[in-house]
Amino acid sequence: MASAWGSVDPPDAPATRLPVADEAARRRDHLAREFPGDRLVLPAGQLRPRSNDTDYRFRPHSAFAHLTGLGADHEPEAVLLLEPSPDTATALLSGQPTHEAVLYIRPAATRDTPEFYSDSRYGEFWVGRRPTLADVALRTGIRTEHLSQLRDALAKDAGQVQIRVISEADPVVTEMVAQVRLEAGVETPSGRPETPGGDPEAPDTSGQPADAATSGPQSDGASQPKPDPDDELAQATAEARLIKDSYEIDQMRRAVAATVKGFERVVRALPQALAETRGERVIESHFESGARIDGNGIGYETIAAAGHHATTLHWIRNTGPVRHGDLLLLDAGIEVESLYTADVTRTIPISGRYSAVQRRVWEAVVDAADAAFAAAVPGNLFRSVHDAAMRVIAERLEEWGLLPVTAAEALSPDGQQHRRWMVHGTSHHLGLDVHDCAAARAALYLDGRLEPGMVFTIEPGLYFKPEDLAVPEEYRGIGCRCEDDVLITADGCENLSAALPRRADAIEAWMARLMST
């Protein structure tokens, strides 16, 4: 089996340096300087079984992708190690890199190895060509080593060098770090030697809302626990993505442009959706098929919510019918090959025209979004974007006679009656994760100041459940959300998703044009 093999025809294109390689090196240096003298461990992650012996498509951990520039399906089990310089103090003073980056990867197996034929996860016969160590080094500009050398690298001077790991990225690597710490007698933040064998299936808390993040360093009081070194690393990698560089902004533009095309495909598919019992699945499939053509795939599960399903915020079953006279709330985003994703929502009339009450609710939501846009300027608090949108929502609800109190009373801390119909936040950061930077401290996220280069959503909504007896019947079953992706600029903000119409008249004209071609 290992003989009589010729060269690949046609030959693979030679590996070339990634356009983002220099920017990724700058990101690594910025992160490493926050932890002088520490060994930083950033795994890509493991393949995850979908069922039995079949795996999901691989997606590397976002911190790994951000710091290496490797997107799409690169590279299962890989680990980026940032090894501290022997003379960190000199490096800090001179501005030189404080750490050396090394990528530990499972290299391609040659045809004379059993893995080539027998390993259904990694063998080339099963899953196709994989890069060599030299390929990855050339693409990333990072020195590469065989994955088998990782444990020795982690254990080197483990008693003298603090090791930090993104613990939720890869349970195998986290266990390896735990064993190295245990053997070196290193104390955990609680003051006890680390005990390996933590639950690898513990819930992933990286997606917690920003206000669940820590609000700042702990005090030095004796009663306070020591900061967790791994949590501090995860926090720093999240905060490093709060301000996007030029490469990231370009990728976000690409993701949004692809998503706009997906929304156009959906409008053209409405006649087919109307004819199917599960019309929402038609909507979902038309958007997601294009996502695989125009990008890497979807950035999150598509919400294709027709009729009263639009009042369920995360409706991803998409099993319902699409009917004339109802609204369709489509919340969807395409992730490009670099793994940056868009996140856009429009609520459109399935028949092509809004009813009077649908138009009233939709225009109120867009008015709230416009108020949020006006607040999205450098120097304002991130919170102020949400506050601006909520003022409009409360005022409209008061105008319609739906609030049991005045808008001013509802907006007070002890009021909040308007939140019955708008329960979520108006904005979240966006990038490699659809809810990006979630592990950042609240002081830099919710309570942070807006700065040029930040990318986030503006997405107010109104949701009137079909069984909601607190509103007149004409409102019941209507759910509307308008979501755009915005970039903070030097003097304001840019709507990256402005190619999609927002006002009711413009949406009706846009739909008429698409459905006639």
State the CATH number of the domain containing residue 326.
3.90.230.10
511 lies in a domain?
A: yes
For residue 181, pLDDT over 60 is answered with yes
11 lies in a domain?
A: no
The verdict on 283 and 353 lying in the same domain is yes
Residue 209, SS3 per DSSP: coil
Residue 463, SS3 per DSSP: strand
* Mean pLDDT, rounded, for 416-437: 98
pLDDT for res 121: 83
Letter string b/e over residues 151-181, b meaning 16 or more CB atoms within 10 A of that residue's CB: eebbbeebeeeebbbbbbbbbebbebbbbbb
- Strand order, beta sheet including 327-332: 303-306, 327-332, 344-349
The verdict on 409 and 350 lying in the same domain is yes
pLDDT for res 12: 65
Q: Is the peptide bond between 10 and the residue preceding it cis, with omega within 30 degrees of 0?
A: yes
Q: Which domain holds residue 76?
A: 21-239
CA angle 181, 186, 187 (to 5 degrees): 120
76 lies in a domain?
A: yes
The verdict on 230 and 250 lying in the same domain is no
The verdict on 227 and 252 lying in the same domain is no
The verdict on 83 and 218 lying in the same domain is yes
Number of domains observed in the structure of the chain: 2
Banded model confidence at residue 14, pLDDT cuts 50, 70, 90: confident
416 lies in a domain?
A: yes
The verdict on 374 and 280 lying in the same domain is yes
Count other Cβ atoms within 10 Å, centred on residue 20. 23
Return the top range by mean pLDDT from 108-112, 217-221, 439-443.
Answer: 439-443
* pLDDT tens string 150-168: 999 999 999 899 999 999 9
10 lies in a domain?
A: no
* pLDDT tens string 273-328: 999 999 999 999 999 999 999 999 999 999 999 999 999 999 999 999 999 999 99
The verdict on 191 and 303 lying in the same domain is no
* pLDDT tens string 214-251: 333 333 444 567 789 999 999 999 999 999 999 999 99
Spatial separation of the C-alpha atoms in residues 235 and 146, rounded to whole Å: 28
For residues 358 and 203, which has the higher predicted lDDT (pLDDT)?
358
State the CATH number of the domain containing residue 34.
3.40.350.10
The verdict on 143 and 282 lying in the same domain is no
For residues 193 and 461, which has the higher predicted lDDT (pLDDT)?
461
The maximal CA–CA distance of the chain, rounded, in angstroms, is: 83
Of 179, 213, 239, the domain-final residue: 239
For residue 439, pLDDT over 50 is answered with yes
* pLDDT tens string 46-56: 999 999 989 99
pLDDT for res 178: 96
Of 190, 219, 239, the domain-final residue: 239
46 lies in a domain?
A: yes
Contact 363, 417 (CB under 8 A): no
For residue 517, pLDDT over 90 is answered with no
The verdict on 254 and 143 lying in the same domain is no
Spatial separation of the C-alpha atoms in residues 107 and 77, rounded to whole Å: 11
Q: Can you give the pTM of this predicted structure? A: 0.91
> Token digits for 472?
């007149």
Contact 454, 488 (CB under 8 A): yes
* pLDDT tens string 353-378: 999 999 999 999 999 999 999 999 99
5 lies in a domain?
A: no
The verdict on 190 and 307 lying in the same domain is no
Contact 101, 142 (CB under 8 A): yes
Mean pLDDT of the chain: 91
pLDDT for res 223: 55
Of 215, 239, 263, the domain-final residue: 239
Counting beta carbons within 10 angstroms of the beta carbon of residue 90, is it exposed (0 to 12), middle (13 to 18) or buried (19 or more)? exposed
* pLDDT tens string 73-89: 889 999 999 999 988 87
* pLDDT tens string 486-504: 999 999 999 999 999 999 9
> Token digits for 139?
């693409």
pLDDT for res 188: 66
Nearest to 267 by CA among 320, 321, 330, 316: 330
The verdict on 385 and 254 lying in the same domain is yes
The verdict on 373 and 472 lying in the same domain is yes
71 lies in a domain?
A: yes
